[in-house]
Amino acid sequence: MTMAVPQAQELIAPAHWRTVDFLSDLHLQAAEPETLALFQRYLAHSPADALFLLGDLFEVWVGDDACDEPGSFEAALAQVLAAAARQRPVYFLHGNRDFLVGAAFFRRTGVAGLADPALLDFHGQRLLLSHGDLLCLDDVDYQRFRVLARSSAWQQQFLAQPLAVRRTQARGIRAESEARKQSGAAYADVHGPAALAWLQAARAHTLIHGHTHRPAEHTLAPGYRRVVLSDWDAAAAPPRADVLRLTPAGLERIAIALM
Ligand code: MN
């Protein structure tokens, strides 16, 4: 399977940014309060001048109107994000679980939406940012679903349903994907040549992405690398939660669970 190289949205870091944090795949959900608590602790203590949330911040997102439901988990999450965005710029790009985060959420929280991929120029270091799902080309079924689910026709139809119906449908889709995982089906990884093509088109040498939950650094070609974020699970033993921290000296992986 081949694909056109998407045009990256470019963002130039203001001169005063010294520290930028990247994180993804927190999969925040009501059933895992420990991970939300760790995220809130992290938000209170991070020295970052800007945060980049690279998708699957939420386990599932069935529409921004879920934030309007009094007492909903989404309403609480929106408050957490709004507080974070008052402290420093917070950017978000969509994952495959939270691709329905929309304009109303961004208005409500002050979080800024980014295209996938996005290019950050940080004092001359050019980093390409993506969730990573679009690069898992070998998962043909998923790529087909992705095209459908990102179409405005599909989204309008889905969002027109009552919130309770959407919540039920999302649970069904998740149960299906869990069953597939349990069946031992191999999970597609990022396609190396496609990732390299994205980097070269963006004149960048480092790709940062999540999605695969396989934290590592891979050399794609001499001088080109992809750096993979971890997922977060504060209740796991040992707890999993790290961020990639960028300073003028380079990238460093920080274990948040030890904070
Ligand atoms: Mn994902």
List, for residues 182-204, the tens digit of each pLDDT value: 776 667 899 999 999 999 999 99
How many angstroms is it from 15 CA to the middle of ligand 1?
Answer: 32
How many angstroms is it from 105 CA to the middle of ligand 1?
Answer: 19
How many angstroms is it from 48 CA to the middle of ligand 1?
Answer: 24
pLDDT in tens, 53-86: 999 999 999 999 999 999 999 999 999 999 999 9
- What's the Cα-to-Cα distance from 145 to each of 95, 140, 149, 195, rounded to whole Å? 13, 9, 6, 21
- From 45-49, 83-87, 138-142, the region with the lowest mean pLDDT: 138-142
Mean pLDDT, the chain, integer = 94
How many angstroms is it from 96 CA to the middle of ligand 1?
Answer: 5
**Residue 111 dihedral angles phi and psi, to the nearest 5°:** -70, 145
pLDDT value of residue 104: 98
How many angstroms is it from 197 CA to the middle of ligand 1?
Answer: 21
How many angstroms is it from 57 CA to the middle of ligand 1?
Answer: 9
Q: How many residues does the chain have?
A: 259
Please check the confidence at residue 47 and state whether its pLDDT lies above 80.
yes
How many angstroms is it from 209 CA to the middle of ligand 1?
Answer: 10
Q: To which H or E segment does residue 206 belong? A: strand 206-209
* Residue 229, both tokens: 């974020």
How many angstroms is it from 16 CA to the middle of ligand 1?
Answer: 31
pLDDT in tens, 88-129: 999 999 999 999 999 999 999 999 999 999 999 999 999 999
Q: Show Cβ contacts of residue 113 under 8 Å, excluding neighbours closer than 6 positions.
A: 91, 92, 93, 101, 103, 106
Confidence of residue 180 (pLDDT cuts 50, 70, 90): confident
Handedness of CA 144, 146, 147, 148 (dihedral sign): positive
How many angstroms is it from 55 CA to the middle of ligand 1?
Answer: 7
pLDDT value of residue 185: 65
The radius of gyration computed from the CA coordinates of the chain, to the nearest angstrom, equals 18
Mean pLDDT confidence for 21-49? 97
Q: Which residues have beta carbons under 5 A from ligand 1 (an ion)?
A: 56, 95-96, 211
| Closest C-alpha among 205, 210, 220, 219 to residue 243 | 210
Q: In which order are the strands placed within the sheet that holds 90-92?
A: 112-113, 90-92, 50-53, 20-23, 242-247, 250-255
Please say whether the beta carbons of 13 and 42 come within 8 A. Answer: no
- From 57-61, 145-149, 163-167, 184-188, the region with the lowest mean pLDDT: 184-188
How many angstroms is it from 234 CA to the middle of ligand 1?
Answer: 18
pLDDT value of residue 188: 84
Please say whether the beta carbons of 42 and 242 come within 8 A. Answer: no
How many angstroms is it from 11 CA to the middle of ligand 1?
Answer: 23
pTM of the model: 0.95
How many angstroms is it from 95 CA to the middle of ligand 1?
Answer: 5
Amino acid symbol at 90: V
